[in-house]
Amino acid sequence: MLKVAIVGAAGRMGRTLVEAVVRSDTATEVAVATVLPDDPALGVDIGLLAVGAALGVDSVAVLDPEQADFDVLIDFTSPQATMEHLEICLRGKKAMVIGTTGLSSEQQRAIEQASAEIPIVCAPNMSVGVNLCLKLLQDAAKVLGDEVDIEIMEAHHRYKKDAPSGTALKMGAVIAEALGRNLEDCAVYGREGISDERDRKTIGFATVRAGDIVGDHTVTFAGLGERIEITHKASSRMTFASGAVRAAHWVAEKGNGLYSMQDVLGL
């Protein structure tokens, strides 16, 4: 039985992760769940919050890896909180699955350094469909080369803080690498006013934040006379949560190292 710790368990994604564990066909259980110290859900059975049935696991504010019995920690919180959880897992030699977005370069380096001591799956999107799209985007970029303009459009709910999304940035990075470009040099984030003719070597990003959109991503390869669009639309957070549970089972059997969902899925 794989024992999972879920941090931020009272949030939208946290509750979905609990539900994904309960619904999983694999031998998985929620061993510990954390919430913020001032959250009304503190001390409440996490199952009542997520699935309407008690699981026998009351939420806690502090995660102690030396006392809590778990194998893998799943983290979809915030960059600062993820760094704190990373230190906890390092102390307890616990594996991690990180789906947090908006991580800085310094924070990403910290995760990479930690992976020398614990196994970590870190990906901006745990969806199987999105990761399949990344493979398709790589192939499309290699075939179409510099003959097209490339634009990445993404939309998320009004509460999402980072922009562009981590998924959109990952898509851009995959395309840039396939074309031998550096995304930091060729990315264009939004346009306004009068400008020169579009530079075909750039990769454009457009962002929408509205309502309860779970996550839409479209990459357009536009030539003169035709265009190709690769789109992924998420209608439920369950697609991300199910992928995270799958990643947790996979990484629990791996040695120390930093892995992606491409590794998990064998892509």
Residue type present at position 222: A
For residue 27, count CB atoms less than 10 angstroms from its CB and return exposed for 0-12, middle for 13-18, buried for 19 or more.
exposed
| Cα-to-chain-centroid distance, residue 59 | 23
Q: Where are the alpha helices (DSSP H) in the chain?
A: 12-23, 46-50, 79-92, 105-114, 128-144, 166-178, 183-186, 238-251, 261-265
Question: What sign for the dihedral angle of Cα 93, 26, 131, 81?
Answer: negative
For the entire predicted model, the pTM comes to 0.83
- The answer, yes or no, to whether residue 172 has pLDDT greater than 80, is yes
Q: Assess whether 85 carries a catalytic annotation.
A: no
Question: What sign for the dihedral angle of Cα 82, 259, 206, 106?
Answer: positive
Residues 103-162 have pLDDT tens digits of 999 999 999 999 999 999 999 889 999 999 999 999 999 999 889 999 999 999 999 989
Q: Assess whether 156 carries a catalytic annotation.
A: yes
CA distance 251 to 223: 41
| Percentage above 90 pLDDT, the chain | 84
For residue 32, count CB atoms less than 10 angstroms from its CB and return exposed for 0-12, middle for 13-18, buried for 19 or more.
buried
- The answer, yes or no, to whether residue 179 has pLDDT greater than 90, is yes
Retrieve residue 243's tokens.
């992928």
Half-sphere exposure at residue 230, Cβ-oriented, CA atoms within 13 angstroms: 22
pLDDT at residue 28, as a whole number = 92
Dmax (CA) of the chain: 63
| Listed residue (174, 71, 182, 180) closest to 118, CA to CA | 71
Pairing mode of beta strands 72-75, 28-33: unpaired
Give mean pLDDT, residues 11-26. 91
Give mean pLDDT, residues 25-49. 92
Long-range Cβ pairs for the range 63-67 (8 Å, 24+):
63/5, 63/7, 63/32, 63/34, 63/88, 64/88, 65/89, 65/91, 65/92, 65/93, 65/94, 66/91, 66/92
- The answer, yes or no, to whether residue 192 has pLDDT greater than 90, is no
Domains of the chain plus CATH, in order, are 2-122+237-265 (3.40.50.720), 128-234 (3.30.360.10)
| Percentage above 70 pLDDT, the chain | 100
Pick the catalytic residue from 3, 135, 142, 156. 156
pLDDT at residue 267, as a whole number = 77
pLDDT at residue 102, as a whole number = 87
Residues 212-237 have pLDDT tens digits of 999 999 999 999 999 999 999 999 99
Residues 82-111 have pLDDT tens digits of 999 999 999 999 999 999 988 999 999 999
Phi, psi torsion values for 216, nearest 5 degrees: -120, 135
